[in-house]
Amino acid sequence: MESPERIAYALRETQILLEPEELISTTKPTTLHYYVLTEPVYLEVFKNEGPETRIRQGMISLEKPKLMTPGYLLDMQGFSAEAREALKMTARMHPDLAGILYKMRYRREDATERTVPYKIMETFRRLENKIIDENEGFTVVIKGVDELWDVSLMKYIQLLILKSAYTSQLPYYESRGYLRINELGLPVVTRNLEGLPIIAQNEIEEMFARVKDGGLDPSVLKRELDSWGVFHLYEDRFFDLFRKG
C-alpha cells in the first residue's frame, strides 16, 4: 500500500491530455477506452537511460446510470453495519433524495502494457494521430505516475462521472419529470400515487415486458421489486408470468 503522500502526489501530477467530448450515456451502457502514459520509474535512478514512455491501455465498461433513493441502496450488498446504519438515517431524513448509481467493470490486470522509445509528449502526439486516424470512439489519454497509474485513471473517472451527472443525467431526468429540485436546492425523485418513484415504475414496466419476451431473467425483476420494496404491489402479476395460459 502506497503512502497517502505518494497517492496525493500522483493525483497532483495527473494531466488529461485528451478526453472525449461526449459524456456517459444516460440511456445505454458506455465503454471508455483509456491510455495512461507514464515515465518508467527506473528512469528516476538511471537518468542517462531513455527516453522511454510506458503505455497502459484498456477499457472500462459503465452500465446505464440508475436514478435511485437512499432506501434503494439499503438492499445492496457489501456495506458495513456502520455504513448501512448511516444509509438508514439518510433514508429516514431524506427519503426522496435523488442519487445516481454508476456501476462499472474494471480490472487493473486487464490493461495491456508496452514501452516506446519516446518522451511522453512525443508519444502522445503519435497516439493522438492514431486515435484520429482510426476513429476511436470514447477515448481518454492521461499522463500519470508510473507505479500509481490507475490513481490517475480513477481521478479522471470521478471527474467524468461528476460532469456527466450535472450536465447530462440530472437535466435529462428533470426534463422527463423523474425528479425535481426542492426548496433546499436538492434533487428529489417524483413519485406516483402508490409512492413509487416514477422512473422506477417505468423501468419495472420495461422489465416485465422483457421477462415476458424471454429477454430478461425473472430473478432480475424480482430483485428490482425487492430493492424498491414494492414486490407486494406486483406479486400477482409477477407470478402470472409463470402460469401457463
The whole-number average pLDDT for the span 182-210 is 93
Judge contact between 198 and 178, C-beta under 8 A.
yes
In whole angstroms, what is the distance from residue 36 CA to residue 154 CA? 11
Question: So what's the pLDDT on residue 137?
Answer: 86
State percent of the chain over pLDDT 70.
94
Of 79-93, 123-137, 228-242, which gets the smallest average pLDDT?
79-93
pLDDT, greater one: 243 or 2: 243
Lowest-pLDDT range of 39-43, 141-145, 178-182, 200-204: 39-43
Q: How confident is the model at residue 214 (pLDDT cuts 50, 70, 90)?
A: very high
pLDDT score at 45: 62
Residue 243 has pLDDT above 90, yes or no: no
* H or E stretch covering 170: helix 170-175
Least confident of 75-84, 130-139, 213-222: 75-84
Q: What is the residue extent of each domain of the chain?
A: 4-65+102-175, 66-101, 190-240
Tens-place pLDDT, residues 34-80: 999 999 987 766 667 768 999 999 999 999 999 998 888 777 666 67
Give the pLDDT confidence score for residue 49 in this predicted structure.
74
- The pLDDT, as a whole number, for residue 108 is 84
Q: How confident is the model at residue 84 (pLDDT cuts 50, 70, 90)?
A: confident
Residue-wise pLDDT for 10-25, tens only, equals 999 999 999 999 999 9
Count other C-beta atoms under 10 Å from residue 116's C-beta: 16
How confident is residue 245, by pLDDT bands cut at 50, 70 and 90?
A: low
User: How many CB atoms are closer than 10 A to CB 212?
Assistant: 12
User: What is the pLDDT, as a whole number, of residue 107?
Assistant: 86
What whole-number distance in Å separates Cα of residue 127 and Cα of residue 174?
A: 39
Closest to 194 measured CA to CA, from 218, 225, 170: 225
Mean pLDDT: which of 110-114, 121-125, 148-152 is highest? Answer: 121-125
**Vertex 8 angle, CA 4 and 9, to 5°:** 120
- Please give the distance of CA 127 from its chain centroid, rounded to a whole number: 25
E strand map for 66-196: 66-68, 99-101, 104-105, 112-116, 139-143, 179-181, 187-189
Nearest-angstrom CA–CA distance, 178 and 100: 12
Please give the Cα distance from 68 to 75 (Å, whole number): 12
Cα dihedral: 120, 122, 128, 133 (round 10): -140
